[in-house]
């Protein structure tokens, strides 16, 4: 898993303000699971980064 600190460092180095939170994702039965999510604006677009076990999703 990509360490959280890696993502934080990359965003800080790019001087981008971001929010980091643990979000609750729901399946069809509305059972929750927590995932790390970063939200930031870059060049007038908003991006989300989710961290999964074996990849990063933008």
Partner 1 sequence: MKTSVAFAVNMPEKECGINIKYCRLSNTNIYISSYLSPDKVYMENVGKCIEMIKEYLLRFDFQRSFLFGANGGLFVFCNCVELALRESSEIFPAIDILLEMLPVIEENFPDKPDDIDADAIPEELRDLIPLLNEWAISDDQEREEKVDKAAKATLTRLVNRVAPKLDAINKYLDSFGDEPLSEAATMFASLAELVCELQLRK
Find residue 33's DSSP bridge partners.
25
User: What's the helix, strand, coil split of the chain in %, to 5?
Assistant: 15, 50, 35
| Site membership for partner 1, residue 56 (CB under 8 A) | yes
Q: Which is nearer to partner 1, 17 or 54 (CB)?
A: 54
Find residue 25's DSSP bridge partners.
33
| Site membership for partner 1, residue 18 (CB under 8 A) | no
Give residues in contact with partner 1 (CB under 8 A): 2, 6-7, 10, 14, 23-24, 26, 28-30, 37, 39, 42-43, 45-49, 54-58
């Amino acid at each position: 898993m990509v360490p959280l600190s890696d993502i934080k460092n990359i965003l800080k180095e790019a001087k981008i303000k971001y929010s980091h939170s643990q979000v609750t994702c729901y399946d069809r039965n509305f059972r929750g699971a927590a995932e790390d999510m970063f939200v930031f604006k870059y060049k007038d677009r908003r991006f989300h980064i989710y961290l999964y076990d074996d990849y990063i999703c933008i």
